[in-house]
Each structure stands twice: as structure tokens, then as C-alpha cells.
Amino acid sequence: MALSLFGAVESGIIYAIMALGVYLTFRVLDFPDLTVDGSFVTGAGVAAVSIVSGVPPVLATIFAIIAGFIAGCITGLLHTKGKINALLSGILMMIALYSINLRIMDKPTVSLSSEETLFSQLRGIWPEGIDSFLNNLWNSIGLGRAPATWIIVAFMIVVALAIKFLTDYFLKTEVGLALRATGDNKRMIRSLSANTDNLIILGVGISNAMVALSGALIAQIGGFADVQMGIGMIVIGLASVIIGEALFGKKTIAIATIAVIGGAIVYRIVVTLALRVEFLETGDMKLITAFIVIVALVAPKVLQGQREKKRRLQKRAALVELKEEA
Amino acid sequence: MLHVKDVSITFNEGTPDEKKALQRINLELKEGDFVTVIGSNGAGKSTLMNIISGNLVPDVGEVIIAEKNVTSLPEFKRSAYIGRVFQDPMAGTAPSMTIEENLAMAYSRIRKRNLKPGVTKLRKAEFKEHLKTLNLGLEDRLNAKVGLLSGGERQALSLLMATFTNPNILLLDEHTAALDPSRAALITKLTKDVVAEHGLTTLMVTHNMQQALDLGNRLIMMDKGQIILDIHGEKKQNLTIEDLLKEFQRIRGEQFESDRAVLG
């Protein structure tokens, strides 16, 4: 049980970077970008193919980020210069990327199992002591079978937080403020001499760069890139954003971005727990995801409605009491 | 400072809905001129504003701001010269962002945006000083989201954002029309003060004749896409609503059909 929860946290934090990318388009720019399903694979594919052909893993990951950025910029161009509806430009780019990804990878799956990756490199410098220390701790509180390695979780927490803080900083810069205003009030920021077209292109580009980075890291952790691995990514990203907002709020940018990371982890935990229910099978995962998103969207409103109702009832009761006293 | 040269624009040309929104408009504002624009609905006031701001491109004619021909510059490039306040209090600010962030965006209107923080300590102090001039207590709420402000407060903030960087031209598009009388009076007073303080070249559209008479050193009246009356100087100071209506009837030979204009 504890081990599968550990696995849930691990995959949650891995996908958190992708979710931060989705947050940038979906919430900050108010641009429902479906490119994600394609650009995720683009990131994984570019990284995998580069590594196989001998590029150092760090450089391969940077190539993946650039490829994702370009894919996002094209979606942005379709929307702003081509005046194509936001949803549609994302969908068009997503299906176009399916073919492009096949071309990049040249076959449906590229294996990295015998290659040097970021993680195999890290394993080389990772002191064994940390693993055994944490596993002793794990065993001493009686959590059952201990995880094989803590490298992935540790490294991904560092990367996810680094991306989070970079995003926080960027969204407070002059360009970042204009980007947020583009999602909030286009007319206003145009009258303050900002080129909203370029900001949208930049924003969607950065978002997909993050998604591609996530894809590149996952390919290196999993040891392969597959042309199908992006299916449903956008929904997982949305689920993370929405769950995070519902649970942790969105008062400031810093809170909203940490909430997205939290949401990504909670999403995985809920899915893991749901799959332990006997009646549900692995194939029900997408249904569970849809259900979680619906609950996260509806529950806060229902709760608030009930709170309001309760508040009014209290006020009325107080008024009745006051009258009786008089 | 602002020169609108022979500008014409027609909407839906060649269809039954054809509308000659502006017909050979010529308007020249000297530096420091404060011009109020009145006219009934459909007279072309907003079209003129949109052509100056770059929202619309004229069919023929030129727009020159500070000796620079800006006719073909897109709106976001022209904004470096122009401060603008819209009629809708929601339009001029970003509701989900804070007061200081909104001001920081206005600060960047005349500069190239870069990757340095938009709100700095230095700027915060400056924003506070500017907000104090509004006398609304906003200087103590720098971190409040603008969506939480009332319509009047938002419009005051919009006015500040449009003016504190000293634009070459200030465009006010019925910016008090959506407010209740006391808030409208406040914004009118703030407008008067800020224009006087910075000596801004201003073009203000209004439906309120009294406001058009009270403010500014020059008044123009538009009808059917043309400027039919242009009064400045001493004559403007002594003008009354009565005079305006008489003038209009004399020129157009018809009753001023807009009840709104009369009641305003």
C-alpha cells in the first residue's frame, strides 16, 4: 500500500511539469491548448532519438524543449495570424504532430534501455547511502516493502520546483505581466502597447516547451518513447490544475503554481486508490480521470452553495431571536 | 500634436447597410488643447476615437501624432503615444491582477517590456504617490485585485494608468457615462485636475452637454460623420446648452432628435 502510494507521488511529481505547462495556457492565457498530447510525444521522441544517436542526455533534453517550444509557437501562429479558433488550432497541431512524431522517431517506439540517460548518469553520482538511509527510515515505521530508489523523486522535486519558481518569476516580469493581462483583458493591454499576438505565441510556446521537457524526462525514466504515450495528457494536465485549485486555492501566482504540483500528485494518489477498488480495472483509468475532474469542478461550487445557505439560515435564526427578545 | 487629415471611412460599403461613418474629417489639436466632442448616437464620435487609437484604419486620410504619420501603425504600437480611458469601467484594467501590477503594465506603455520584475520597491513608492492624488485610499491597497474595486474606483485607476506616463494624446471615450452621478462628478474633477497638471492634449467624447461645456478649451459637435460645429476660446467659455441646441437647429434645420443629449 505504502509503496504504491510512493509510486503515485513519484509519477505525480513527474507529470507536474507538464501540468504547469497546461496551467500557463489554460489559466494564465485563457487558451485551451490541445497541442499538449502531441508536443509531449515530440519532447519524448526528440530526446530519445537524440540520445540513441549519441547526443549527451542534457543536450538531448534541451533539444526536446526547443522542439516543444516550436510546436507551441506554431499553434499560437495558427490562432493569432491564421485567426483559427483556439481549440481548433490546438487540435490541428495535435494531429499534425502525430505524423511528425512518427517521422522524428522513424518507428512507433524508441527504446533507451541500453543507453545513457539523465537518470542513469544521476544514478552514477547518487550516494547509495541516501537510499539505504531513507529505506531504513521507511522500514522502521513499518511501511512494508521499500521503494527501489529515491533518485527519481528527489530529482523530479528539484526540477519541478525550479520550473515553478522560474514560472513565478517570469509571470511577475514586465513581459509576464503583459502575458497575464492578455489572458485577462486583451483590449486593455493592447491599449498599453503590448502586442497580444506575439504574447500568445510566446505563451503557448513556453507552455509546450514545458510539456516537451516533461515528455523528455519521462522517456528517460521509463526507458522508451512511444508515439502513443501522449494520449490523454491534456486531460491529466487539466485534472491537475483543477484539483490543485480546488484544494489549495489560487490567490497568488506562487500559490497557484504550487497548487498545480500538488494537484498532479493528488490526482495520481486518487487514481491509485481508485484502481485498488476491486470492481475497477486498469482500462477504467480514463473514466476515473473524467470523474475526478468533474468532482473537482462541481464539488467546490456545491460546498460554497451549502456554506451560503447555512450562513443565511444562521442570520435568519439570529433575527428571529432578536425579535423574540424585543 | 494631433492632426486628423481628410479622414473618411465607410462601413459595409455596397450593401443596404452602408454607413458613411466619417466624411472628410479634418481636426487639428495644438499641444495642451482639451477638446470635448458631442453629438447624437451614430454621429461618428466613437469611430473618430477608434481611428485615432488605431483600432480602425481609415479608407482615406491620415492621422499624425507628434509630427509622426501613424496612419498605418497598429494599435499596440500607437499606444506608446496615446493614453486611453474607455466607457466600460471593466475595459481599462485587468481584474484578476493587483492594483500595483496594473500600474506596472501602464508604466511599460512607453518602454520596451523586458524580463525584469514589473513591480519594484522604487516603482511601488511612485505608484503610492500617484494613487494618493486620487484620494480614494487606493494607496493602501496596492495588493488588492482590481476586480474587487467599485466601478468608480476602477475608472479612477484607469484614468491614472492612462495619464501618469504623460501621453502625447489622451483619449477619453465617454469615460463617466457608466457611473452614478456622484462618481461621475468625482471622475470629471480628477480628469480636469490631471489634464491641467500635465498639460495633456486631450480629446473627450461625452453625451453630457454640461460636462462638454464645463471641461476643456474647445468644443466640437459631430453629426452624420461630419464636424458641424467647432467653438474655442472665449466663445466656448460663455456657451450654454441653449446656445448649442440653437446652433444645431440652425445648421441642420431639424429638431435635435436625441432625447439623451437633451436630458444629459
The DSSP letter of residue A146 is P
**Chain B residue set in contact with A, beta carbons under 8 Å:** 53, 75-80, 82, 84, 86, 90-97, 101, 104-106, 108-111, 113-119, 161
Q: Is the pLDDT of residue A321 over 90?
A: no
* A122-140 per-position pLDDT tens digit: 888 888 788 888 888 888 8
Please compute the mean of the pLDDT values over residues B122-139 and round it to a whole number.
Answer: 93
Does A177 sit within 8 Å of B97, measured CB to CB? yes
Does B76 sit within 8 Å of A174, measured CB to CB? no
Q: Is the pLDDT of residue A324 over 90?
A: no
DSSP states along A108-145: SEEE-TTS--HHHHHHHHS-HHHHHHHHHHHHHTT-SS
* B145-195 per-position pLDDT tens digit: 999 999 999 999 999 999 989 999 999 999 999 899 889 999 999 999 999
Closest-CA residue to A109 (of A214, A222, A236): A222
Q: Which of residues 126-185 of A touch B (CB under 8 A)?
A: 169-170, 172-178, 180-181, 184-185
Inside any domain, residue A218: yes
- What phi and psi values does residue A249 have, to the nearest 5 degrees? 85, 180
**Beta bridge partners of residue B220, listed in sequence order:** B37, B230
Query: What was the pLDDT predicted at B261?
Result: 55
Grid cell listed for A187: 483590449
Select the residue of B78, B92, B118 nearest A172 (Cβ to Cβ): B118
Cα distance between residue A25 and residue A198, in whole Å? 14
Inside any domain, residue A138: yes
Which chain B residues contact residue A175 at CB under 8 A? 113-115
CATH homologous superfamily of B2-93+150-263 equals P-loop containing nucleotide triphosphate hydrolases (3.40.50.300)
Select the residue of B75, B80, B118 nearest A174 (Cβ to Cβ): B118
Inside any domain, residue A99: yes
Q: Is the pLDDT of residue B255 over 80?
A: no
* B207-254 per-position pLDDT tens digit: 888 889 889 999 999 988 999 889 888 888 888 888 888 888 887 765
Inside any domain, residue A147: yes
User: Looking at per-residue confidence, does A321 or A43 come out higher?
Assistant: A43
Sheet holding B218-223, edge to edge: B82-85, B169-173, B201-205, B34-38, B218-223, B226-232
Which chain B residues contact residue A174 at CB under 8 A? 104-105, 108, 111, 113-118
Grid cell listed for A188: 486593455
Sorted by sequence, the CB contacts under 8 Å of residue B164 that are 6+ apart come out as B103, B106, B130
Q: Is the pLDDT of residue A1 over 80?
A: no
How high is the ipTM of this complex? Answer: 0.88
In total, chain A counts a number of residues equal to 326
DSSP states along A228-280: TTTTTHHHHHHHHHHHHHHHH--SSHHHHHHHHHHHHHHHHHHHHHHHHSTT-
Side-chain-facing half-sphere of B43: CA atoms under 13 Å: 23
Cα distance between residue A44 and residue A65, in whole Å? 10
Which of B49, B65, B76 to mutate: most A Cβ within 10 Å?
B76
Residue B232 to chain A, least CA–CA distance (Å): 29
Query: What was the pLDDT predicted at B250?
Result: 80
Inside any domain, residue A277: no
Select the residue of A174, A187, A188 nearest B113 (Cβ to Cβ): A174
- B262: confidence class by pLDDT, cuts 50, 70, 90: low
* A235-282 per-position pLDDT tens digit: 999 999 999 998 998 889 999 999 999 999 999 999 888 888 888 888
Residue ranges of the domains in chain B?
A: 2-93+150-263
* A71-111 per-position pLDDT tens digit: 999 999 999 999 999 999 999 999 999 999 999 999 999 99
Cα distance between residue A40 and residue B19, in whole Å? 50
Handedness of CA A88, A89, A91, A96 (dihedral sign): positive
The count of structural domains within chain A is: 1
CA A209 vs. chain centroid, Å, equals: 12
Whole-angstrom distance between the N-terminal and C-terminal Cα of chain A?
A: 61
A188 touches chain B (CB under 8 A): yes
Does A185 sit within 8 Å of B114, measured CB to CB? no
CB B241 within 8 A of CB B224: no
> What's the predicted TM-score (pTM) here?
0.90
The DSSP letter of residue A24 is I
Does B104 sit within 8 Å of A174, measured CB to CB? yes
Give the domain range for residue A154: 2-234
Residue A135 to chain B, least CA–CA distance (Å): 43
Please compute the mean of the pLDDT values over residues B121-131 and round it to a whole number.
Answer: 94
The DSSP letter of residue A147 is P
Residue A186 to chain B, least CA–CA distance (Å): 9
Does B76 sit within 8 Å of A195, measured CB to CB? yes
Select the residue of A169, A177, A195 nearest B105 (Cβ to Cβ): A177
Residue B237 to chain A, least CA–CA distance (Å): 32
* A269-282 per-position pLDDT tens digit: 998 888 888 888 88
Query: What was the pLDDT predicted at A126?
Result: 82
Does B105 sit within 8 Å of A189, measured CB to CB? yes
Residue A32 to chain B, least CA–CA distance (Å): 18
**Beta bridge partners of residue A112, listed in sequence order:** none
Cα distance between residue A276 and residue A270, in whole Å? 10
The DSSP letter of residue B68 is E
Please compute the mean of the pLDDT values over residues A56-62 and round it to a whole number.
Answer: 96
Q: Is the pLDDT of residue B257 over 70?
A: no
∠ CA A241-A247-A252, rounded to 5°: 70
